[in-house]
């Protein structure tokens, strides 16, 4: 149970079977996407430091898990990200400008592109998991060939909602994919202190659903596992729990200082040297003659241009107006809120001094 499913080794060598499923174009796209989101992540941290963005949750180190899983999806699938899964959202089609907007404190950053079902970043831990059971259940009842994927962390597996979600999905055999990025920490608490079970994948046994533990830094393993889980779901065989073992190099958020609870630098350095998801795919692609330094330079320039354009779009988005907070609270605004709104824009009426 605690062994990891791996297809591409950290040294960039194939150690598993691609099952004839992964073509070269897809592999190149995987690499390009991972580079894009890594640059995006770094840019976001810089923007936060410059005061152009609020608190931000970085994911560097987890690119293979997020990119690989999102690339396996099809447009009608439902994606439930946490506050850390913007890479998955971007790869599935969310605009980078919207992601920037969200972190700049605008609700409009949560709007999904029309033809996709990308849910807003979920802040309360594990709560989105039950929603992914519901959407998948509806897809099944309505005979729509779509899966729902809920992203979550290792810490989330302690919340009641995790267990209720798995139980429901098992009972109703919903096409839900529970995708855990086990990055070893829930803020300061290491997994060993989060749970007495050795793995998260083994929890699936309690609900009698398939559970797999994979190398979350191996994008081939992620992608192939996802494809299998999707197929199972679409064939009416129910949910899958995927535990992608990975690591996040940086802090929990830009407001957190991990030096207090983990050996931040050396742990990150070790993962970077030995298990980096981008590096291993790059080595593989180079060995296949599919990648080189020129392509790399050209790619970096191209993604940086895209990111800069998204930033310009986000920063030139109209500023939120105070009255915007009253919009969309109900289909029809309540009289209380309408009255309050008119008070909001009412000019100060300090006229006379009392008698």
Partner 1 sequence: MKRKLTMIQAITEAMDQKLADDSRIMLLGEDIGVNGGVFRATEDLIHKYGPDRVVDTPLAEAGIIGAAIGLAMNGKIPVVEIQFLAFIYPGFEQIVSHAARMRYRTRGQYRVPMVIRTPYGAGIRGPELHSESVETFFAHVPGLKVVAPSTPYDAKGLLIAAMEDPDPVIFLEPTKLYRAFKQEVPEEMYRVPIGKAKVVQEGSDVSIFAWGAMLRVAEDAAKQIERENGLSCEVIDLRTLYPLDRDTIIASVKKTGRAVVVHEAHKTAGLGAEIISIINDEALIYMKAPVKRITGYDVPVPQFSIEDDYLPTAERVKDGIMETATF
* CA gap 345, 330 in Å, rounded: 20
Residue 153, beta-bridge partner list: 181
- Binding status of residue 189 toward partner 1 by CB under 8 A: yes
Provide the H-helix boundaries in 173-263.
Answer: 191-194, 219-234
Indicate the helix (H) or strand (E) that contains 49: helix 24-49
Is residue 88 a contact residue for ligand TPP (CB under 6 A)?
A: no
151 is catalytic: no
Q: How far is the CB of 87 from ligand TPP (least distance, A)?
A: 12
Counting contacts by CB under 8 A, is residue 164 touching partner 1? no
| Residue from 52, 261, 262, 317 carrying the catalytic annotation | 261
| Site mask for partner 1 (CB under 8 A), range 293-332, x = bound | --------------------------xxxx-xxx--x---
117-118/148-153 β-pairing = unpaired
User: Site residues for partner 1, window 33-92 (CB under 8 A)?
Assistant: 54-55, 83
Q: Which of 123, 141, 171, 312 binds ligand TPP (CB under 6 A)?
A: 123
Residue 156 touching ligand TPP (CB under 6 A) = yes
Binding of partner 1 at residue 342 (CB under 8 A)?
A: no
Q: Contact, 209 vs 169, CB < 8 A?
A: yes
Q: Can residue 206 be called a binding residue for partner 1 (CB under 8 A)?
A: no
Residue 261 annotated as catalytic: yes
CA distances to 110, 179, 191, 239, 335 from 121, rounded to whole Å, are 7, 15, 23, 22, 30
* Residue among 151, 183, 153, 127 nearest 68 (CA): 151
Structure tokens belonging to residue 212: 């797999």
Which residues are at the interface with partner 1 (CB under 8 A)? 54-55, 83, 104-107, 121, 123-127, 155-156, 158-161, 186-189, 193-195, 255-256, 260-261, 319-322, 324-326, 329, 334, 336-337, 340-341, 344, 348-354
């Amino acid at each position: 149970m605690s062994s990891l499913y791996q297809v591409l080794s950290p040294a960039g060598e194939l150690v598993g079977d691609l099952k004839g499923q992964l073509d070269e174009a897809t592999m190149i796209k995987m690499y390009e996407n991972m580079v894009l989101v890594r640059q995006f992540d770094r840019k976001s941290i810089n923007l936060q430091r410059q005061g152009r963005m609020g608190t931000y949750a970085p994911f560097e180190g987890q690119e293979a898990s997020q990119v690989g899983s999102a690339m396996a999806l099809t447009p009608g699938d439902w994606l439930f990200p946490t506050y850390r899964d913007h890479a998955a959202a971007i790869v599935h089609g969310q605009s980078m400008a919207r992601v920037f907007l969200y972190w700049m404190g605008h609700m409009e950053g949560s709007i999904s592109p029309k033809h996709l079902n990308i849910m807003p970043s979920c802040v309360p831990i594990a709560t989105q998991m039950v929603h992914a059971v519901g959407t998948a259940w509806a897809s099944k009842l309505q005979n729509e060939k779509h899966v729902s994927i809920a992203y979550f962390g290792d810490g989330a597996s302690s919340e009641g909602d995790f267990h209720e979600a798995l139980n429901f999905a098992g009972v109703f055999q919903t096409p839900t994919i529970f995708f855990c990025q086990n990055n070893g920490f829930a803020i300061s608490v290491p997994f060993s202190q989060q749970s007495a079970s050795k793995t998260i994948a083994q929890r699936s046994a309690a609900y009698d659903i398939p559970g797999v533990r994979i190398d979350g830094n191996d994008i081939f393993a992620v992608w192939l596992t996802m494809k299998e889980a999707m197929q199972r779901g679409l064939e009416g065989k129910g949910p899958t729990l995927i535990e992608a073992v990975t690591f996040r190099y940086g802090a929990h958020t830009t407001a957190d200082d991990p030096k207090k609870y983990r050996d931040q630098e050396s742990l990150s350095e070790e993962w970077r040297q030995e298990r980096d998801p981008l590096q291993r795919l790059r080595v593989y692609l180079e060995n296949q003659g599919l990648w080189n330094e020129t392509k790399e330079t050209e790619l970096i320039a191209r993604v940086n241009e895209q990111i800069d354009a998204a930033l310009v779009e986000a920063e030139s988005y109209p500023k939120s107006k105070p009255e915007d907070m009253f919009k969309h609270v109900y289909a029809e605004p309540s009289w209380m809120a309408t009255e309050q709104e008119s008070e909001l824009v009412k000019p100060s009426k300090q006229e006379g001094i009392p008698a």
